[in-house]
């Protein structure tokens, strides 16, 4: 399994071996021992799966406040996404910085998003399904987020007018948000 560090401490790209043959492919998308051996030791407790019908659907930027903050291991089952993480850790040298990654059905790359990051994605094709493991259960009371087009973050999303939930369109900016990381 190939683990690639990124410029944001703790954010990792994970690539598992893919075994192709005339029928298609097989891959162990998650293997606890291999992940622990690679230093990815969190115990995932919940699997999430979303379908976004239209290209240009944007979900995020979301996080859960401590003590229900979540590490996420994100991958794409069908389609493709521009996946974005934002460092919300006040003491981090990269606080308020973001990075984007293309995860797709074809590249099979996975992204590990540590606690203390906001996470969101914009779909690049129709009928995109995203599957991700989290190490803390969903808590609506701790669910929060940052506005996708925060003028200070200036995230270069691939679309100007995305399909958004009403909730996501009303999220605070980073400067307005109450953060506890």
Q: How far is the CB of 176 from ligand T46 (least distance, A)?
A: 19
Per DSSP, helices labelled H in 31-100 are 32-37
Q: Which two tokens stand for residue 127?
A: 């009928």
Quick one: which of 35, 98, 121, 148 contacts ligand T46 (CB under 6 A)? 121
Q: CB burial class (10 A; 0-12, 13-18, 19+) of residue 81?
A: buried
Catalytic residue flag (residue 62): yes
Q: Which two tokens stand for residue 73?
A: 């291991």
What track of x and - describes contact with ligand T46 for positions 46 through 75 (by CB under 6 A)?
Answer: --x-x--------xx-x---------x---
State yes or no: residue 119 binds ligand T46 (CB under 6 A): yes
Integer angstrom CA distances of residue 99 from 22, 43, 80, 138, 181: 36, 25, 17, 24, 18
Scanning residues 1 to 30, which ones bind ligand T46 (CB under 6 A)? none
Comparing every residue's Cβ against ligand T46, the nearest one is: 138
Catalytically active residues, by annotation: 62, 132
Judged by the rule CB under 6 A, the positions of this chain that interact with ligand T46 are 48, 50, 59-60, 62, 72, 119-121, 138, 165
């Amino acid at each position: 399994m190939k683990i690639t560090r990124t410029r944001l401490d703790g954010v990792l790209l994970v690539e598992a071996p893919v075994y192709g043959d005339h029928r298609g492919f097989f891959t162990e998308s998650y293997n606890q021992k291999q992940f622990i051996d690679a230093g990815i030791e969190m115990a995932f407790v919940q699997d999430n799966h979303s379908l976004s019908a239209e290209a240009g659907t944007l979900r995020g930027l979301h996080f859960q406040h401590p003590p229900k903050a979540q590490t996420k291991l994100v991958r794409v089952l069908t389609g493709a996404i521009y996946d974005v993480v934002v460092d919300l850790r006040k003491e981090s040298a990269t606080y308020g910085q973001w990075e984007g990654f293309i995860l797709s059905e074809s590249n099979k790359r996975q992204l590990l998003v540590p606690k203390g990051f906001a996470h969101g994605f914009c779909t690049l094709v129709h009928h995109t399904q995203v599957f991700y493991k989290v190490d803390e259960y969903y808590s609506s009371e701790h669910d929060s987020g940052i506005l996708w087009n925060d003028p200070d973050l200036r995230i270069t999303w691939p679309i100007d007018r995305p399909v958004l939930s009403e909730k996501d369109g009303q999220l605070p900016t980073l400067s307005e948000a109450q953060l506890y990381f």
